[in-house]
Amino acid sequence: MRFSLILPLFIVLSLIVNTVGFRRLVHFVSVGYALSVIVMSLVTGMVFLVQLPPLPPLAFLHLAGLIVWGARLAIYVLRREAKAAYQNRAADMFGQYNGVSALIKLVIWVSVSILYVLMFLPALFNATNTLQMPAFVATVAQALGLVVLFGGLAIEAVADRQKSVHKAQHPGQYCAVGLYRWVRCPNYLGEILFWLGGWIMGLPFYTTPLEWLGSLAGLLCIILIMIGSTKRLERSQDARYMSLPEYQLYVRTVPVLIPFVPIYSLKNMRVSLG
């Protein structure tokens, strides 16, 4: 089955899964995000089990990485929302969402559903398209992408864990331990690397300008979203901690998103999403 036959199905599935956002708007970009990726990965795997030859090992690992990433994110979000401390902090934020019109919710619903499909395209092309370069070069590209993908997954998971533990032990303090000693937003860096790795894994299988455009659009959108998330976190933390001399030193000496690159703020960056 070619990807052109699966694509409309994935858009419908993503729309269905993302209806969770109508219950709580933030779920459009958290639970719905994770579940959309999981569902598309499982469907792709099942199609090969039923109709096509077995997936090549690297394509299988690509899908497995997406499922692990989605499951981790969904569990992390739901566990975080169950904590009383998070519920207290989020009460005001959720209250703001009550005034969002039905039209805006519909626009968000459709937009994120399509975005998640675009982000999944490299895995779909990996599974359904034929090689567009010599096999050895393709294997090297996919192996590199797989390392970046799982490296990003590990960074994101470790960063989320370190921040959760730190916040539990030191509520009201900013996190500057573990990975946060090297970069102030390692979880966002991990997310960017995860999707960049997936895009690299799809490189040997992009066959048309439209496929290149679609896969690049998904990658660029998630990068811009992570930049937007970084800017929001910067402003939030500055408002809470900027009076502390140790925090002032922290933001002056620890890069904001990319370790060892002396960029200490993205607040004035105009190009971002979210």
In whole angstroms, give the CA distance from residue 79 to residue 118. 28
| pTM exceeding 0.85 | yes
Q: Which two tokens stand for residue 267?
A: 């607040």
Spans of all domains in the chain: 1-128, 131-274
Count of all residues that appear for the chain in the document:
274
Q: If you ran DSSP here, which 8-state letter would residue 259 be given?
A: T
In whole angstroms, give the CA distance from residue 93 to residue 8. 34
- pLDDT at residue 200, rounded to an integer: 97
In whole angstroms, give the CA distance from residue 70 to residue 269. 29
Q: What is the dihedral of CA 97, 102, 103, 105, to 10 degrees?
A: 50
- pLDDT at residue 97, rounded to an integer: 56
219 closest CA partner among 152, 140, 137: 152
Q: Is the dihedral of CA 7, 157, 85, 238 positive or negative?
A: negative
- pLDDT at residue 274, rounded to an integer: 66
- pLDDT at residue 92, rounded to an integer: 46
- pLDDT at residue 133, rounded to an integer: 87
Query: Which residues, given as ranges, of the chain have pLDDT below 50?
Result: 1, 91-95
- pLDDT at residue 88, rounded to an integer: 52
In whole angstroms, give the CA distance from residue 141 to residue 125. 14
